[in-house]
Structure 1
Amino acid sequence: MAQEAADAKINTLSTELKLLRKGLGVQAKNLPGVVGEELRAVCGVREDDSPGTVRAKVVTRLQALIGKLPESQRETARIVLGFGTGANERYTARLELLGTGADRNIRTMQRRADDVIYLIAEAAYEAPAAFGASPVISRGPWHTSALAVRLSLAGAAAEVFETRRIVSHVAGLAEIEHGVSLARPASPAGEPELSGLGIDVVSGGEVHSVRMVSSTRVAFRLRPPRVLDAGDQHEFFFRIRLEEMPAPFYCCTPEFPCESFELNVRFDRREPPQRIWRIDGDLSKDAGDPVPARKPLFLDNAGEVHTSFRDLQPARSYGVGWQPAP
């Protein structure tokens, strides 16, 4: 019976994703209005979420799920759902991109699209690995199983949408310690408030014990809606608004291990960077250094770059750096 229920959820989500991929896919203006109930649940969408929040949650969650697919399927999944394609490329046009060489039979391409949609739905209900299965993940009271970040740049200002799913290692985990680096030194009078620092916890729990641990880093505790047992998963989502980026790079430097990190950076089309590169496991003090040779990244037609990381190690930095336009 449990397997039948799981199969039913996967099939329902597959149907909803097929509806979502029509037209412009994730780039459609009416995206928040076509998100089905199962997909809303998978993405942690609440009834009182604004359309912009719904879009951010759906996009970041789908990117994280695509990152869980076999590498050979990820690009197909991105094309099918409309990630990184032209702003006006509808589903039928994107479907043609799946054809390779002489293999351009429409039924074959449709079958490939349907297969990858099912794999995405299946990944949404994938059980977490057994606690203790990996020596890397066994450290700490919890680890991050999936982190998805969308960074949007507009002039000097920036906005960050972060969705993080953690897995508890202990029984009775009632609080999750978290921290965020700020753009500039902050000196709030009295106890700081996240909203005053440009940080909004949109969903996933109650925040308390906000404190500055350095002039540029704020820490807080997140209390999930229920106490977590070993192996339980919990997802939370928050937004950060920065009046000015502190430096031309964005990184995740985890305190505890992280299984996967999906990062999408949307640059200001009016001032595209001269070059962009991938930061992969650098020491934190070297993350912002533009001198070391690194893998180059390139803007797509939407002015975005997307990259992903697996098995992030604590105290190492992973992300994207860029050389601003002169």
Structure 2
Amino acid sequence: MAQEAAEAKINALSVELKLLRKGVGVQAKNLPGVVGEELRAVCGVREDDNPGTVRAKVLAGLRALIDKLPESQRKTARIVLGFGTGADQRYTARLELLGTGADRNIRTMQRRADDVVYLIAEAAYETPSASAGSLVSSEGPWHTSALAVRLTLSGAAAEVFETRRIVSHVAGLEEIEHGVSLARPVSTTGEPDLDGLGIDVVSGGEVHSVRMVSSTRVAFRLRPPRSLDAGEQHEFFFRIRLEELPAPFYCCTPEFPCESFELNVRFDRQEPPQRIWRIDGDLSKDAGDPVPARKPLFLDNAGEVHTGFHDLQPARSYGVGWQPAH
């Protein structure tokens, strides 16, 4: 009987996920209104949750379930549900992404999509205590929903403008941890000064607990104007001015998952780089290595490159690297 009950739940959740994947999938504007009862239970959605909270809980829960799948199935699962795909890319168009080589039979791709939906539903009921609370907490107290960085280079100097939107996973979130790598070692004795390090918080909160975690990396905590509820979003914007970049690359290496990262780099027109490449999910120790084969990027007429990333994984590096002019 227990086995039959479990299979019934898995099948019911599979049906809900098949409805959810239609259209643009999880990117649908009406997502909070179409989430079924089984998925709400799995993701810990409460009756009094507002639409923003429902969306945040469902997205976090689905990401956690996808991460439970075998690595070979995760990309398929993200495409099927609409994670990291174009905002206007509907289900039938996403199905085409599942075809490989000559194997583009629509029935085959539909079968793959159905199989991965069942695996997601199965992962939700691996243990009797599966719930959104455990799913969300496995991703940390918050995650980044959107990160946009504009990097401007002038000779050796650099200026970074960063806008970061975070989503709380817990009630009463009062601060987030942040860190910046510096080019030159500084004293690790005494309390460091953000102004002296060229870091300005322009809007979205205040900084405290500034400290050097190594001779070339400063960490600090950003406090929003008020504590955040679970599922609530908040945006910070700050500027960093560096006399010199640590190395000829700029990366985001998130501690917690990041939904999207948009990076625009404006190079010095007097000293354009010899070549530029995209760093996509490298191990942090390999991010600055110019040897591995990577996708090349090219300057536009304004001397800039722009690239974007979706569904960034913790402890992996994403960004742009380049070979200086000399």
Supply the AA of the counterpart residue of 1:204: G
TM-score in terms of structure 1 length: 0.59
1:70 aligns with 2:90: no
Q: Deviations over 1:61-86 (max 9, x none)?
A: xxxxxx985377xxxxxxxxxxxxxx
Distance (Å, rounded) in 1 between the aligned partners of 2:252 and 2:316: 8
TM-score in terms of structure 2 length: 0.59
Number of equivalences: 204
Distance (Å, rounded) in 2 between the aligned partners of 1:283 and 1:137: 24
In structure 2, list runs of 5 or more residues that go unmatched: 1-28, 30-83, 90-130
Distance (Å, rounded) in 2 between the aligned partners of 1:268 and 1:197: 22
Distance (Å, rounded) in 2 between the aligned partners of 1:296 and 1:265: 14
SS in 2 for 1:244: coil
1:263 aligns with 2:256: no
Greater Cα shift, 292-301 or 190-199: 190-199
Distance (Å, rounded) in 1 between the aligned partners of 2:140 and 2:162: 21
Distance (Å, rounded) in 2 between the aligned partners of 1:68 and 1:137: 25
> What is the aligned partner in structure 1 of residue 4 from structure 2?
none
Contact 2:137/2:169 (<8 A) preserved: no
Distance (Å, rounded) in 2 between the aligned partners of 1:191 and 1:296: 41
1:227 aligns with 2:227: yes
Distance (Å, rounded) in 1 between the aligned partners of 2:136 and 2:316: 14
SS in 2 for 1:196: helix
Distance (Å, rounded) in 2 between the aligned partners of 1:243 and 1:285: 23
SS in 2 for 1:195: helix
> What is the aligned partner in structure 1 of residue 238 from structure 2?
238
Greater Cα shift, 280-289 or 218-227: 218-227
Q: Deviations over 1:100-142 (max 9, x none)?
A: xxxxxxxxxxxxxxxxxxxxxxxxxxxxxxx949958951000
> What is the aligned partner in structure 2 of residue 38 from structure 1?
none
> What is the aligned partner in structure 2 of residue 157 from structure 1?
157
Distance (Å, rounded) in 1 between the aligned partners of 2:247 and 2:266: 16
**Greater Rg by CA:** 2
Q: Deviations over 1:297-324 (max 9, x none)?
A: 0000100000000000010000000011
1:301 aligns with 2:301: yes
Distance (Å, rounded) in 1 between the aligned partners of 2:158 and 2:85: 27
SS in 2 for 1:270: coil
Aligned-CA RMSD value: 2.4
In structure 1, list runs of 5 or more residues that go unmatched: 1-9, 11-66, 73-130
1:211 aligns with 2:211: yes
Distance (Å, rounded) in 1 between the aligned partners of 2:250 and 2:302: 19
Supply the AA of the counterpart residue of 1:270: Q
Distance (Å, rounded) in 1 between the aligned partners of 2:168 and 2:282: 27
Supply the AA of the counterpart residue of 1:297: L
Distance (Å, rounded) in 2 between the aligned partners of 1:68 and 1:182: 34
> What is the aligned partner in structure 1 of residue 56 from structure 2?
none
Provide closer, same or farther for how the CA distance between residues 269 and 136 of structure 1 changes in structure 2, counting only shifts above 3 A.
Answer: farther
Distance (Å, rounded) in 2 between the aligned partners of 1:234 and 1:291: 39
Contact 1:137/1:257 (<8 A) preserved: no
Distance (Å, rounded) in 1 between the aligned partners of 2:199 and 2:165: 18
> What is the aligned partner in structure 2 of residue 147 from structure 1?
147
Q: Deviations over 1:280-300 (max 9, x none)?
A: 000000000000000000000
